[in-house]
A = this chain, B = another copy of it.
Amino acid sequence: MTRVLVIDDEVPILRALKINLTARKYDVSTAADGASGLAAMARERPDVLILDLGLPDMDGTDVIRGVRGWSSTPIIVLSAWGQESQKVAALDAGADDYVTKPFGMDELLARLRAAVRRASPAPDEPVIATGEFTVDLADKRVTRAGADVRLTPTEWQLLEVLARNADRLVTQRQLLSEVWGPGYQNEANYLRVYMASLRRKLEPDPSAPRYLLTEPGMGYRFRP
């Protein structure tokens, strides 16, 4: 399901968007100001961002630049009628499109479809390499000794979270919540089962892991 993040401080617009987009099978989350919007972008990695330029705490173009610094997620800007220069600045800051308020829902939906369609050739994501194997986030592919390693979906999700946080300690709660969902934070068993499976497929000596490390009592760490 396509995930959309809406950053807007006007409650009626937020509600209207949420209702209409949800009805069209989009997965909608919201933020009411620029700061929490940027945080939500990093946390949720939506497929599209809909951004109102008139935010209380930040200039809209700064939000765009904040996002463009690390992500090429399509951005559709909402702006009040007549603010020509603002729109131009937004587009030049890296926005993909804009819609003038008041806008028709059909138009927004069409632009949304167009933005998602254009973005589909996925942006570049890094390849993380260890002495034993490599993890290609974009291709969703793991290679070891020249050959692809077959991972099950759950195995891959787990490895992906660890790889995206390479060298950082990832807590059990975070892993469980990101791979299985927020309701599974006590099922530490799952982690053991799947870490064992990953080690069996990736570590030279699964019983003495060199790359997928356990931090007792805390969580796990991926050391490339």
Contact = CB atoms under 8 A, between A and B. Distances in A.
A153 B219 CA distance: 10
A107 B84 contact: yes
A152 B216 contact: yes
A25 B156 CA distance: 25
A117 interface: yes
A40 to B, nearest CB: 20
A107 B87 contact: yes
A164 B26 contact: no
A218 interface: yes
- As for how many copies of this chain the complex holds, the number is 2
Contacts of A217: 152-153
A85 interface: yes
Contacts of A26: 182
Contacts of A153: 216-218
14 contacts: A2-B185, A26-B182, A84-B104, A84-B106, A88-B109, A91-B111, A92-B113, A95-B114, A122-B165, A139-B167, A140-B218, A153-B216, A153-B217, A153-B218
Interface of A: 1-2, 24-26, 84-85, 87-88, 91-92, 95-97, 104, 106-107, 109-111, 113-114, 116-118, 120-122, 138-141, 152-153, 156, 161, 164-165, 167-169, 173-174, 177-178, 181-183, 185, 215-218
